Structure formats: structure tokens, C-alpha cells
Structure 1
Amino acid sequence: MKSFAGLTPSAERIVDATEGLIQTLGYNGFSYEDVAKIVGIRKPSIHHHFPSKMELGAVVAQRYTHRFRQSLLHIEGTLSKAPARLLAYAGLFESTYETDRRLCICGMLGAEADALPDEINQEVKRFFSINLDWLTMVFAAGLDAGTLRSTAAAAELAEAYLCMLEGALMVSRGLPQAHGPKRSASVFLASVLV
């Protein structure tokens, strides 16, 4: 299977278009014809780069996970306290939503897990595992430092926070008056701040 790291410029445009389609329509909601129209190429050109939709979907999820992981490293490198890191983390979801009310790639794919190839589900699981591990570390550091307080364990807080942010994306899309993930995160964090 291809890796996102070795993509040609043409393949990158295909992955970019597919990412947007998955974020708005889901994996089962688009075809190579849709991608071809966005990129301005013929379907055989897509098959040249990605012989199967499964391979294309897996590369999209892989690249998204990598970029998200890079964002987590940036947050770690620029913010030292858990509350600020957690708010910055919510900002990643907010910026996704602010781009045409898009959803998290892996959240959208996770909703379709029962109808996806194993290769894509493995990438989705990797995304959530990376995020839960990172959030657990941040919540644990905040609890240890006394900047956060809760009777729940760090891993439980991490899971609740991630679920709340993924859910906030979906609810915000469904309710035009909703305020997006960052506001939901602020309410959540207010309940655990010291």
C-alpha cells in the first residue's frame, strides 16, 4: 500500500480532493468520478495513482493522522500547561469545522467503520489511539500539577474529551445555531479547571 510521504504532486491533489469529499460526504458518499471532477482529470488517471478506493481512503486517513500528530507536537512545543494544551487541541477541531463545516476525517470514517475495508479501519484506530494517548498524558500532567481536578482518571477524561469534540462537530453541523467544538471544549474544561 502507498504511503502519503511519497506522493507525487498529482497524487497529492487527488488526496486533497478526496479528503474534502470524505469530510463532507463520507467514504461511501463519493466516487472516483467526483474526485476526477474536482481535480480536473479523467478517472483512469486516478486509478493510475490509486488502483483501489481502499488504497486512496487509507492514504487520506494516514496523511490526516500524520498532520494531526504534527499539530500535537507543535502544541507540546509551544504550550506548557495542560489547560492551554487542551484548549489548543480543541482549536484543531474548530479549524476543521470552520472550513465549510467539515468533520474530522477519522471521525467521519469511524462512523462508517462497519462498511469500511480493514486497511482504512486500521488507520482510523491509529488516529484515535494517538489522540487518546496524547490526551491521557496531558490530563495526567494537569491532574499531577494541580491545574486540573477531577474524580475521573486521566484516561477517562481523555476519552470523554475526544468524544465530546467529535460529537460537537456533528451536532454543530446539524444545528445551525450551535457554536462549534471550541465552545463545547470551554464548557468541558471549566468543569475540570482548578
Structure 2
Amino acid sequence: MKHFSEISESALRVVDAAEGLIQQRGYNGFSYDDVAKLVGIKKPSIHHHFATKGDLAATVAQRYTHRFREQLLRIEGHHAKAADRLAAYAALFENTYAIDQRLCVCGMLGAEVNSLPAGVTHEVSRFFEVNTDWLATVIADGQRAQQLRPLPEARALAETFLAALEGAMIVSRSSGSARGPAGVAHTFLLSLLA
């Protein structure tokens, strides 16, 4: 599989279309026909860029993780306090959800992990590892600075916060609740403040 930065402009349009479809329907809910219709090309053109649907989905997840990492760096550059960083992190999920109730690409793929090709599961695992590691560092730094409660342990809180945000998207879409990721994050952060 090529790195997403090495693919052509027309292949990127395919990745864009597949990303939206994954966020709305999941991996098993779209086909190359769906992508071809969105992009306005024929199905063989997609196969030219991505031999398999797994290759396409892995590229989508790889690029999504890369963009998320860029956002994490921006958060670090704009916010010094742990609570502010965590609130800005939650806003990433809220902003995604605000676009037609789209869900996190890797959250959607993670729900289907037992039916995904190995390359896709690898990229999904990488997304969650990157996010959990970053959150654990932010929380541990906040605990050391006495900005956040010292317990529970930072990694457990990181996993809980990420799961809460992913779950908030699903529950909000399913129930029509207006609370969404921002509301869940607000409650979570209030419980963490020292």
C-alpha cells in the first residue's frame, strides 16, 4: 500500500469519497459503485488506484490518523492547560459530528474490525494508539501540575475519554440527542478538574 501522500489527485478524490461513505455507512455499507458515482468515474478507474476495497479503506484510515495528529499538534500549540487541551480535543469529535452526523472514521471501522482486512485493522489500531498515548500524556501532565485530579491513572482516563467521545457520536446519532461529544466531554472534564 502506498502512503496517502504519494497518491495522485484523482486517487485523493476517491479517498475523500470513501471517507465520507465510511463515516456515514461503515466499511461494509459501501461499494466501489458508490464511490464511482460520487466521484464521477468508472469503477475500473478506482481499481487502478486501489486494487482492493481494503487498500482504499486502509489509505482512508492512514490519512485520517495523519490529519488527527496534525490537529493534536495544533492543540498543543494553542493551549497550555490540560483541561483546555482536552476540551479542544473533544471539539475535534464535535466538529466531525456536526457535518451530517458523521462519525469518526476509525470509530466506524473499529465497530467492524472482525470483518476488516488486516491492513485496515492495523491502521485503525494505530489511530487509537496515537490518540490514547496523546491523551494519557496530556492527562498525566495535568495531574502533575495539579490541574486535574490525581486519580484514576492517566492511561485509564485517556481510554475512558476516547471511548466516551466515540460512544457519544453513536448514541447521539441513534437517539437524536443534541448532547453529542461536546456535552459528554463537558461532563467528563468537570469530573476531572482538581
Question: TM-score category by the smaller chain?
Answer: over 0.9
Distance 2:177 2:167 in 1: 15
Distance 1:80 1:150 in 2: 18
> Identity over aligned residues, as a percent?
59
Amino acid at match of 1:149: R
| Contact 2:22–2:108 (CA under 8 A) maintained in structure 1 | yes
Distance 1:112 1:178 in 2: 26
TM-score with structure 1 setting the length: 0.98
Matched, 1:80 2:84: no
How many residue pairs get aligned? The number is 194
How much has 1:7 moved relative to structure 2? 1.8
Distance 2:58 2:188 in 1: 32
How much has 1:151 moved relative to structure 2? 2.2
Amino acid at match of 1:180: G
The runs of at least 4 aligned residues of structure 1 exceeding 2 Å deviation read none
> How do residues 79-158 of structure 1 correspond to structure 2 at under 5 angstroms?
79-158=79-158
> How do residues 1-194 of structure 1 correspond to structure 2 at under 5 angstroms?
1-194=1-194
Per-residue deviation, residues 58-107 of structure 1 (Å, max 9, x unmatched) = 00000000000000011011111100000000000000000110000000
Distance 1:176 1:158 in 2: 26
TM-score with structure 2 setting the length: 0.98
Amino acid at match of 2:154: A
How much has 1:27 moved relative to structure 2? 0.4
Gaps of 5+ in 2: none
Distance 1:64 1:177 in 2: 26
How much has 1:8 moved relative to structure 2? 1.0
| Contact 2:23–2:108 (CA under 8 A) maintained in structure 1 | yes
Gaps of 5+ in 1: none
